[in-house]
Amino acid sequence: MIDQSAIIQLGNPKLRQKAAWVENIQDEKIKTLIDDLIATVDQANGVGIAAPQVAESLRLFIVASRPNARYPDAPEMNPTAMINPQIISHSSEVVKGWEGCLSVPGIRGLVPRYQTITVEYMDRNGNLQTQELTGFVARIFQHEYDHLEGMVFLDRVESTEELMTEAEYQQRIVNQT
Ligand code: NI
């Protein structure tokens, strides 16, 4: 398992690189990386993690929505590895929602994302998957996809007034819903 301290944080230039395509999905190193990322996101109470966040600049991330201490209202799903993911199409509707990031600890921001997206990715067995994602899971996908492009959610926040500390977020947003 990757030690949680292995998650790199804002300011590390590796978080700002455009990640490379995964050439060989069957490579043992890729399988190990996927298993490590799934264990790490679980341990960190995350709902997603991208390979660049552990300094592996590859186009691969985990979407693992489930209710936890950081996201009590998240829908439940099996952790899913998405390799060489792409957004094929998206709704015109954009919704703002609160996001955080394991690489930006202690800060939440209100981020506009497409409500619905159609995505393609290779699963861990090398099969091409096409899915329509909506709401919170679509938000996770778009957040993780940004990591592959060297972006973080702060880049998409429209005003610094739409930032909050984790403590204020827990008090004002989580406890209100
Ligand atoms: Ni993130």
Residue 62 is classified by DSSP as E
- Mean pLDDT, the chain, whole residue set: 93
Average pLDDT rounded to a whole number, residues 53-70: 92
Q: How many CB atoms lie within 10 A of CB 152?
A: 20
- Write down the pLDDT at residue 4: 60
Beta-carbon contacts of residue 102 (< 8 Å; ≥ 6 apart): 7, 41, 44, 46, 49, 53
- Write down the pLDDT at residue 77: 87
**CATH code for the domain of 34:** 3.90.45.10
Centroid of ligand 1 to alpha carbon of 152 (angstroms)? 6
Centroid of ligand 1 to alpha carbon of 168 (angstroms)? 19
Q: Which domain holds residue 68?
A: 4-174
Per-residue pLDDT tens digits for 87-121: 999 999 999 999 999 999 999 999 999 999 999 99
Q: How many domains does the chain have?
A: 1
Q: How many CB atoms lie within 10 A of CB 60?
A: 28
Q: Which residues surround ligand 1, an ion (CB under 5 A)?
A: 101
Centroid of ligand 1 to alpha carbon of 143 (angstroms)? 6
Give yes or no for residue 1 having a pLDDT over 70: no
- Write down the pLDDT at residue 66: 86
Catalytic residues: 144
What predicted TM-score, i.e. pTM, was given to this entire model? 0.94
Centroid of ligand 1 to alpha carbon of 26 (angstroms)? 26
CA-to-CA separations, 154 to 30, 37, 87, 131, in angstroms, rounded: 29, 22, 21, 27
